[in-house]
Amino acid sequence: MATITVTFQLNGKTTALAVEPLTTLRTALREHLHLHATKAGCGQGGCGSCTVLVDGEPILSCLLPVALVEGQSVTTLEGIGGPGELHPLQAAFYDHFAAQCGYCTSGMILAAKALLDRNPTPSREEIMEALSGNLCRCTGYLPIIEAIEDAARQMEAVV
Ligand code: FES
Ligand code: FES
Q: Could you tell which of 62, 64, 66, 131 is best to mutate to test the pocket of ligand 1, judged by most ligand atoms within 8 Å of the CB?
A: 62
Which residues of the chain are in CATH 1.10.150.120 domains? 88-158
64 Cβ closer than 6 Å to some ligand 1 atom: no
- Among all bound ligands, the one having the nearest atom to the CA of 137 is 2
Confidence label for 158 from pLDDT (cuts 50, 70 and 90): confident
Q: What is the pLDDT of residues 6-44, one digit of tens each?
A: 999 999 999 999 999 999 999 999 999 999 999 999 999
Which residues of the chain are in CATH 3.10.20.30 domains? 4-79
**Which residue's alpha carbon is at the smallest distance from atom 3 of ligand 1?**
45
Q: What is the pLDDT of residues 96-147, one digit of tens each?
A: 999 999 999 999 999 999 999 999 999 999 999 999 999 999 999 999 999 9
Q: What is the pTM of this model?
A: 0.96
Asked whether the predicted pLDDT for residue 159 surpasses 70, the reply is no
**Side chain identity, residue 37:** A
As a whole number of Å, the CA-based R_g of the chain is 16
* Residue 102 main-chain phi, psi, to 5 deg: 85, 0
Confidence label for 1 from pLDDT (cuts 50, 70 and 90): confident
CB within 8 Å of 65: residues ≥ 6 apart? 21, 22, 23, 24, 25
Highest CATH level, class, for 88-158: mainly alpha
**N-to-C CA span, the chain:** 50
CATH 3.40.1160.10 for domain 4-79: no
25 Cβ closer than 6 Å to some ligand 1 atom: no
Q: What is the pLDDT of residues 46-96, one digit of tens each?
A: 999 999 999 999 999 999 999 999 999 999 999 999 999 999 999 999 999
